Structure 1
Amino acid sequence: MAQSRAQGILLGLACGDTLGRPVEFQNPNRVKETRGRVTEMLAHGTHGQPAGTITDDTEMALCIGRSLAEHGTFEPKDVAARFVEWKRSGPFDIGIMTSSALQRIQNGEPWDEAGHREWEASVEGSNAGNGSLMRCAPYAIAYRDAPDELVKVSRQSSAITHADPRCQWSCVLFNRTLANLLTDVERPLEPVLDDLGPDLPDEIRSAVEPITAALRGEPVDISLENSGYVVTTLQVGLYHGLTAESAADAIVDAVMMGGDTDTIGAVAGAVAGARFGADALPERWLVEIDEADELRQLASELTKKRSK
């Protein structure tokens, strides 16, 4: 089951990414009016791409997965170089902060300084996007049995482009939760909140704690947002991924929120894939994604390699 869950993480991420891409930036009412309930891979729409086309969410996760598979451990300089090479290829979708930080690296700034400098140069409101959260799931597979190392690599990898503490710690909480799902921890989210303690920024804790109450069956009022802010993306992704009755429902419900649909879908999809396994993802979605076989293979390799 561990391999199925690991494959589910990467394939679920890609399914959410590709299902959400055509309706990105639309409000939920617009999505319903023009597309109904989005349960099939759609062509055109936002970015004007064929059905099943992945975006930067999956493309950057592939950069990380390939690096981990090749080196057997986190090599930040290599990951940064792969990001830069991907940027040079001219992707149709790339976040502003990601692009700016990678341009700094391309111009010669060290990988471990560029993201921090870009963050320091950014104003509040544009400095804590979800661009590192969307791509970080491969680390959860490779470091599933090494929680302290998973914290370290999640933060370092985020800071290549997104150095804000909210971004770094959102990646940590997300990956630790995925790792707990991979290793069959009964309540995958609660022990992470306990373990991280005061290190976890208050904004993240306040957004996520109501989900733990909902999972215990307690009545809660959770106001979910569909913005590109890393904290709300984390909250929405965890909520749908952990509470839905099926992997498909988690992804579709996330996409139907509108807004930053590809990333919200990707985060929810990774969580749902870890919960239900790869076999729970609709085959009609997977056959549309050209990268599905590579994602399966990478997940399998990362489950076999124990990172040092």
Structure 2
Amino acid sequence: MTLDRIKGALFGHAIGDALGGTTEFMTEKEVQEKFGRVSTFLGGGKWRLKPGETTDDTAMTLALARGIISNPEDPVQEIADQFINWLNSEPKDIGMRIHYALSYLKNGEKIENAAEFAQHDLGGSGEGNGSLMRCLPISLYCIEEEKVAAISEAQSQITHASDVASEACVLYNLVGYDIMCKGIPLKEALTERITGTRYEQSLYKVPDVYPTKNVVHTFSWVIYVLMQSDSYLEVVQTLANKGNDADTTAAIAGGLSGLDAGYRKLPQSMAEQLLKREEINIIAGELLKIRTASETA
């Protein structure tokens, strides 16, 4: 059951990413005019993806997981190192803020300074969704609530000098923790964790913003669609067809929905089409080993 949930989360995230990658940067109307409705992997889009190919959302999620596997007790430095390895692979899609922060790290800047320097260079609020899109593995391996929150915040601060971005990562992974460690159903966990926060209205009301790369916009739509949907496919297809930052919204929502449903309830044909399926399977197994060791310690 535990492996089924871990795989459900990682594959659920990646399927959403690959599905939404086609419609990223398009408006909802443009998606409708070009595709009618996106329901399976089409590839293409700005990044000229192959069907089943994922984007930076999955790449950074797997990099973060590898950092955890390297040092489960205190993984933040190892996570940063894995991010730099990914940067060195010259990915075709990488957010500007993440690129700046990781470049500072690569050139020897301290981990606590890189995001601040990137913020100084780029300006703006720093409230991007790039740290939220990758943070899910923390709630899959860690069995201590306070540690889930602390690592979620720390990994966000590697690239995003924003308390708002950190807050979203913490809330997201605490929902994951509730599902994983307490067996609380997704909608109940969302209601408990989100009530009283800036996102509370999204539990029952359509967000009055587009699902852009702003983390508040992204997470608002993720929460709303998760609360309104009755199946994993409904979640990721709804967000993929919204366009805008569709790969990220579908990945973030798909991760929690897949965690709740379990791998066996995901569309198996889509899981098999993922180009990174073997890597995801290996990482899921390694996270299970770490979690099992913690539970039996």
Partner of 1:146: 144
2 CA distance for matches of 1:192 and 1:116?
29
Contact 1:22 1:45 in 2 (8 A): yes
2 CA distance for matches of 1:248 and 1:193?
23
SS of equivalent residue, structure 1 residue 111 = coil
Distance change in 2, residues 1:230/1:222 (3 Å): closer
Give the TM-score of the pair, scaled to structure 2: 0.91
Cα RMSD of the aligned pairs, angstroms, is 1.9
Residue 65 (structure 1) shift: 1.0
Unpaired runs of 5+ residues, structure 2, are: none
Partner of 1:279: 264
Partner of 2:189: 188
2 CA distance for matches of 1:73 and 1:141?
14
What is the aligned counterpart of 2:157 among 156, 159, 164? Answer: 159
Distance change in 2, residues 1:291/1:103 (3 Å): same
1:241-283 Cα offsets, whole Å, 9 max, x none, are 3431110110000111110011011111111101211122212
Q: Which amino acid aligns with 2:149?
A: V
Partner of 1:265: 250
1:273-306 Cα offsets, whole Å, 9 max, x none, are 0121112221221122121232233223323314
Partner of 1:201: none
Residue 237 (structure 1) shift: 1.5
Contact 1:246 1:280 in 2 (8 A): no
Q: Which amino acid aligns with 1:146?
A: E
Q: Which amino acid aligns with 2:232?
A: A
SS of equivalent residue, structure 2 residue 113 = helix
Give the TM-score of the pair, scaled to structure 1: 0.88
SS of equivalent residue, structure 1 residue 158 = helix
Residue 193 (structure 1) shift: 4.2
| Residue-pair matches, total | 290
2:200 pairs with 1:209 = yes
Q: Which amino acid aligns with 2:166?
A: Q
Q: Which amino acid aligns with 2:210?
A: E
Partner of 2:286: 301
Unpaired runs of 5+ residues, structure 1, are: 198-204, 215-219
Contact 1:11 1:278 in 2 (8 A): yes
2:198 pairs with 1:226 = no
Residue 77 (structure 1) shift: 1.6
Partner of 2:9: 9
Contact 1:67 1:74 in 2 (8 A): no
Distance change in 2, residues 1:40/1:81 (3 Å): same
2 CA distance for matches of 1:167 and 1:108?
24
Contact 1:242 1:271 in 2 (8 A): no
2:274 pairs with 1:289 = yes
SS of equivalent residue, structure 1 residue 49 = coil
Residue 120 (structure 1) shift: 4.1
SS of equivalent residue, structure 1 residue 22 = coil
2 CA distance for matches of 1:193 and 1:229?
18
SS of equivalent residue, structure 2 residue 169 = helix
2 CA distance for matches of 1:211 and 1:225?
13
2 CA distance for matches of 1:193 and 1:239?
11
1 CA distance for matches of 2:116 and 2:101?
9
1 CA distance for matches of 2:190 and 2:47?
34
Q: Percent identity?
A: 30
2 CA distance for matches of 1:91 and 1:256?
25
After TM superposition, the structure 1 = structure 2 runs for residues 33-48 of structure 1, keeping only pairs within 5 Å, are 33-48=33-48
Partner of 2:221: 236
After TM superposition, the structure 1 = structure 2 runs for residues 55-66 of structure 1, keeping only pairs within 5 Å, are 55-66=55-66
1 CA distance for matches of 2:48 and 2:281?
26
Partner of 1:202: none
SS of equivalent residue, structure 1 residue 26 = coil
